[in-house]
């Protein structure tokens, strides 16, 4: 395992969607998520972490398994850690665990389980996990945190009627609905804590994998429902110290997005915006790394 991350990082991430639904809201008939007060589009941190996980899983790297997967129960994976660390509450012959012993597991036993799980699973090392749903392994706080992504301007979701023929006895077919955002440019803020990275073993190699995922994950997550989604910019502020050299919100203010031209027509492409980065006079001990595809 490479050296763990020893510097704090704050970053701004830009991505866009054209004619697709970047994150449906199940409480609103799967319409694109919006802020009801401003109509700005929203994409949850959970949605973005899912895409990072899926990208990392595609690489099939040793020590970079994914703990939280679609339609896969978590408790058997925790039980696997119990067996691997030879903890008494895991009853191999019975195929389960002794709940009374699991409930009273010592802190040292929990720490051993967490250490094993962190070594095996990239997403636990990065994002943390709640590991107490079955065999109790406590809770791991991850060094990498995302905010919700918010669109730069209000979005105006559209619903389109679609048809299909599912029953041979019904020539007219069935009607359905498909919701899209014609165009939206979204902005997400992220944080990497060096202090917490030391607890999970989040390494420099893991950090590089995170940057690669943010740059490429949409290329491997295509679907008609999501339309065309692309990464548009990653701006990483690297601090020289574990605790940081400047407040994150002051650094984020240095990355601004504005409409190009007169801005009267609705935005329909990335070129309708101008991204500006103020790299002058950064606080001492802060280095800015920019990526624009």
Query: Does the global pTM surpass 0.85?
Result: yes
Structural tokens at position 14: 């830009």
Confidence of residue 168 (pLDDT cuts 50, 70, 90): low
Residues 103-142: pLDDT tens digits? 556 778 888 889 999 999 999 999 999 988 777 788 999 9
Residues 76-107: pLDDT tens digits? 888 787 777 655 455 444 455 555 555 556 77
Percent of the chain scored above 70 by pLDDT? 89
| Residue 90 domain flag | no
CA distances from 118 to 19, 37, 107, 170, 201 (A): 38, 40, 16, 54, 7
| Residue 199 domain flag | yes
| Residue 119 domain flag | no
| Residue 65 domain flag | no
- Tell me the three state secondary structure of residue 184: strand
C-alpha 224/C-alpha 54 separation (Å) is 18
C-alpha 178/C-alpha 164 separation (Å) is 12
Give the per-residue pLDDT at 280.
93
- The sign of the dihedral angle between the CA atoms of 101, 68, 234, 211 is positive
Instruction: Tally the domains of the chain.
Output: 1
| Residue 178 domain flag | yes
C-alpha 221/C-alpha 53 separation (Å) is 11
C-alpha 252/C-alpha 237 separation (Å) is 9
Burial of 8 (0-12, 13-18, 19+ CB in 10 A): buried
Nearest to 81 by CA among 72, 90, 73: 90
CA distances from 24 to 19, 31, 226, 233 (A): 13, 5, 9, 23
Domain extent at residue 153: 9-60+142-291
| Residue 81 domain flag | no
Give the per-residue pLDDT at 93.
42
Nearest to 132 by CA among 101, 96, 102: 102
| Residue 272 domain flag | yes
Residues 29-57: pLDDT tens digits? 899 999 999 999 999 999 999 999 999 99
């Amino acid at each position: 395992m490479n050296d763990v991350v020893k510097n704090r990082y704050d970053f701004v991430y830009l991505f866009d969607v054209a004619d697709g639904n970047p994150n449906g809201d199940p409480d609103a008939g799967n319409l694109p998520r919006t802020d009801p007060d401003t109509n700005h589009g929203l994409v949850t941190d959970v949605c973005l972490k899912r895409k990072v996980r899926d990208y990392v899983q595609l690489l099939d790297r040793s020590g970079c398994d994914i703990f939280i997967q679609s339609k896969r129960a978590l408790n058997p994976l925790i039980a696997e850690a119990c067996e691997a660390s030879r903890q008494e509450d895991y009853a191999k012959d019975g195929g389960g665990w002794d709940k009374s012993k699991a409930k009273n597991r010592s802190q040292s036993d929990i720490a051993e389980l967490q250490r094993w799980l962190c070594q095996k699973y990239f997403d636990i090392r990065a994002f943390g996990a709640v590991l107490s749903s079955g065999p109790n392994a406590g809770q791991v706080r991850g060094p990498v945190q995302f905010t919700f992504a918010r669109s730069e301007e209000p979005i105006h979701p559209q619903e389109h009627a679609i048809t299909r023929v599912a029953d041979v006895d019904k020539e007219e077919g069935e009607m359905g609905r498909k919701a899209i955002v014609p165009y939206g440019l979204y902005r997400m803020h992220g944080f990497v804590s060096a202090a917490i990275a030391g607890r999970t073993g989040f390494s420099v190699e893991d950090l590089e994998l995170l940057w690669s995922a943010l740059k490429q994950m949409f290329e491997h997550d295509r679907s008609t429902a999501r339309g065309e989604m692309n990464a548009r910019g990653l701006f990483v502020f690297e601090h020289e110290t574990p605790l940081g050299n400047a407040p994150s919100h002051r650094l984020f203010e240095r990355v601004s997005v504005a409409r190009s031209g007169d801005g009267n027509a609705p935005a329909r492409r990335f070129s309708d915006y101008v991204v500006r980065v103020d790299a002058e006079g950064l606080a001492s001990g802060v280095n800015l790394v920019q990526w624009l595809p």
